[in-house]
Amino acid sequence: MAWELESRLAQISRAGLQRRRRTLSSAQGPRIRVDGREYLSFCSNDYLGLAAHPALTEAACQAARVAGVGAGASHLVLGHHELHEQLEQRFAALTNFPRALLFSTGYMANLGVITALLSRHDAIFADRLNHASLNDAALLSRADLQRFRHADAAHLDELLGRSSAQRKLVVTDGVFSMDGDMAPLTDMLAVCERHDALLFVDDAHGFGVLGEGGRGILQHFGLKSDRLIYLATLGKAMGSFGALVAGSESLIEYLLQKAHTYIYTTALPPMLAQASLTAFELMADDRLRQHLQQLIRQLRNDLEGLPWQLMSSVTPIQPLLVGDAVAAVELADALRESGIMVPAIRPPTVPTGSARLRISLSAAHTADDVAALAQALAHLARGR
Ligand SMILES: Cc1ncc(COP(=O)(O)O)c(C=O)c1O
């Protein structure tokens, strides 16, 4: 059989790269129920603890009573609800851009923006550690894809200098999803200006977490430019679902006309737009981020001296580098036995030899939760 799926699956399994789902039977949060057992969890991207917040649940329920559940049509065929419209306007105001567009997911937004803007004779410059959706989008656009060394503005400068493409788009995660570090956006924007390139920042993990009021990585670095295209997802710190892209009036109008993943799909349920509007209100409270920063400091302090190194990160994504994929899975399994869930992240999601536990913190965690994780890891380190 030409497909040889069994043998390909066996190969994945032998390499320690088999992925498995576990089924949650509780809401998302620091304490979850999985397969009939309760766990302390460090697995979600729910950085502000909003995914199961009563105000979001109530907002969604109330909106469903008025607007129903399904949008029933695509945005351009009368699926565009006033709650979608409000969400776009609120986001544009929050992030200080002229206009914004709501997509159903971050993955779709990345595909939509990049394939709408670029085609065969254009060039795209991407950080080597960018999220898979940005890489897929680049391939789908058929533009010339060049990858610069991670967070290396000088290498980007070099590649842009060698390019003769007419249109150049630089794309980067704001906060890197598996590493937790930040792109050097101030330097990158200066490089883009020098080479007349646009800079597309995917701030899936920074919006709600960075900057005053949680307004994201551009606010964090104090950046404003008409070269910038900004994306935030709503399924992470916002505890909701969907994604917003902000930019100039003409950029957004162009995406509305051209982005296939915006045009040819059912609009997001309006009740989720209402939940996101409520999340925007809750995220303004800077005490959430102060608490998160306190937890991050505590974790970094408590995990010193372990045989595994925490990677350099000031965000709630705190990866513990293990190296070998099988060893990372064994460590995650041992933690799970002790009642703590932390995901092991392996290739191809991260480069070979850099498998890790991706510890993610939430404002809903307590200092005791972090202490429990540190104790469990110290215990496992002693038993090695
Ligand atoms: C950097 C980054 N961009 C985009 C996405 C996709 O967003 P969504 O989950 O809304 O599809 C993710 C993760 O899911 C991500 O980590």
In tens, the pLDDT along 211-246 reads: 999 999 999 999 999 999 999 999 999 999 999 999
Given a cut of 70, whether residue 1 has pLDDT beyond it is: no
Q: Mutate which of 43, 47, 107 to test ligand 1's pocket (most atoms within 8 Å of Cβ)? A: 107
Instruction: Spell out the long-range contacts of 142-148 with Cβ–Cβ below 8 A and sequence spacing 24 or more.
Output: 142/118, 143/114, 143/118, 143/119, 143/169
Single out the residue of 303, 300, 280, 282 nearest to residue 363, CA to CA: 282
Q: In angstroms, what is the span from residue 306 Cα to ligand 1's centroid?
A: 31
Nearest 5°: the CA angle 184, 246, 126 is 40
Report the half-sphere exposure of 6 (CA within 13 A, side-chain side). 1
Spatial separation of the C-alpha atoms in residues 159 and 168, rounded to whole Å:
11
Burial of 331 (0-12, 13-18, 19+ CB in 10 A): buried
Instruction: Say what the pLDDT of residue 297 is.
Output: 98
Mean pLDDT for all residues in the chain? 97
Instruction: Say what the pLDDT of residue 15 is.
Output: 81
* Structural domain boundaries in the chain: 20-49+286-382, 54-283
Spatial separation of the C-alpha atoms in residues 374 and 303, rounded to whole Å:
6
> Which ligand 1 atom is the nearest neighbour of the CA of 133?
4
Instruction: Say what the pLDDT of residue 20 is.
Output: 86
CA distances from 358 to 38, 42, 87, 110, 341 (A): 20, 8, 31, 23, 10
Q: pTM of the prediction?
A: 0.96
Same fold, 20-49+286-382 and 54-283: no
| Domain 20-49+286-382 part of CATH 3.40.50.800 | no
pLDDT (tens digit, 9 = 90+) per residue, 160-179? Answer: 999 999 999 999 999 999 99
Instruction: Say what the pLDDT of residue 18 is.
Output: 85
- β-strand partners of 182: 175
Single out the residue of 81, 41, 23 nearest to residue 335, CA to CA: 41
Tell me the catalytic residues: 177, 205, 236
pLDDT (tens digit, 9 = 90+) per residue, 263-306? Answer: 999 999 999 999 999 999 999 999 999 999 999 999 999 999 99
Instruction: Say what the pLDDT of residue 2 is.
Output: 86
Q: Mutate which of 46, 177, 231 to test ligand 1's pocket (most atoms within 8 Å of Cβ)? A: 177
Given a cut of 90, whether residue 24 has pLDDT beyond it is: yes
| Contacting residues for 269 by C-beta, under 8 A, at least 6 apart | 64, 69, 70, 71
Given a cut of 90, whether residue 19 has pLDDT beyond it is: no
Q: Determine whether the shortest distance from the Cβ of 133 to ligand 1 is under 6 A.
A: yes
Given a cut of 90, whether residue 93 has pLDDT beyond it is: yes
Q: Determine whether the shortest distance from the Cβ of 130 to ligand 1 is under 6 A.
A: no
Instruction: Say what the pLDDT of residue 383 is.
Output: 84
| Domain 54-283 part of CATH 3.40.640.10 | yes
| Contacting residues for 304 by C-beta, under 8 A, at least 6 apart | none
Q: Determine whether the shortest distance from the Cβ of 206 to ligand 1 is under 6 A.
A: no
Given a cut of 80, whether residue 59 has pLDDT beyond it is: yes
Terminal-to-terminal C-alpha distance of the chain: 44
